[in-house]
Amino acid sequence: MINSKSFLSFLLLGLLTLNFNIFAQDYLSQTHEDAFRLSQPGIIYDARSLSMGNAYSIIGNTYTATLMNPATLGLAKKTTFSGSINLNLYYNEVKFLDDSLDSHKTETTFSQFGVVYPVPKDSGSNNLVFSLGFNKSNDFNRIVQFEAFNASNSTIINDLTANNSEITRSLQLSYPVVDTASGEFLGDATILNGNLNQKASVLDEGSINHWSFGFAYEFATNVFFGVSANYAVGSYLSNREYFEIDTKDIYGNDVRTLQDSALT
């Protein structure tokens, strides 16, 4: 139970707290998907601060205060070490055509570690506190898989061929069509006209990590000044695999995607 005197003290602390944050949040993106991914705020708090909600913004005294409100570090009276472990249980169900496929990805990571150190002082001096730590704010680990038989001609091979792609040419799945009279190139063609089993796997990995330093000083009774500096570094890797397979042997072993090549 919090009495009225304690409540007023915390309220006064919240009103008089001075908080300055310096964040390095400039990210370079290549596509709109990257821009959206990097703009996600992520989780910068530990279990204690999450359970306390907005109340932590005025009474935080552990490393997480460096990221949320560094001025409240001035409340720390002893050295503390804190850490967090993140268990990512990612589940995804994709329905493609008439089939559904479940995907699972489990990962355990060390998501946060920090130390708060109050400078030893005489009983009459004001509090000076430093903090240093690491925090993983964004986790990009995802997985998506799907597989089904597609009886139509809506295939990746047909789409690439229609755009005269070098991919289908290099795989010897398409060939150029030339007007015999004028010699004009008319476009690429393929004998594969759908009826293929389509399968795909998209695996994303990566994270954004923050290294943070902060300090707070109580320059008057219950009046705190705090500063934090954050350096962000991260990585992202997306591995996408697509397969189209003649699982029902519709085209047979005698069919050649290039008539003049025995290798196809």
**96-106 tens-digit pLDDT:** 988 999 988 88
Domain encompassing residue 128:
18-155+192-245
Residue 133 lies in a domain: yes
Joined tokens for residue 123: 């009983």
Residue 147 lies in a domain: yes
Residue 262 lies in a domain: no
Residue 5 lies in a domain: no
Would you say residue 27 has pLDDT above 70?
Answer: no
- How many Cα neighbours within 13 Å face the side chain of 194? 5
Would you say residue 3 has pLDDT above 90?
Answer: no
| pLDDT for res 213 | 95
Dist CA 39 CA 31 (whole Å): 13
Q: Which residue has the higher pLDDT, 224 or 31?
A: 224
User: Whole-model pTM?
Assistant: 0.65
Would you say residue 200 has pLDDT above 90?
Answer: yes
Count of structural domains within the chain: 1
Residue 251 lies in a domain: no
Residue 250 lies in a domain: no
Residue 93 lies in a domain: yes
**Beta-strand pair 142-150/80-96:** unpaired
Residue 89 lies in a domain: yes
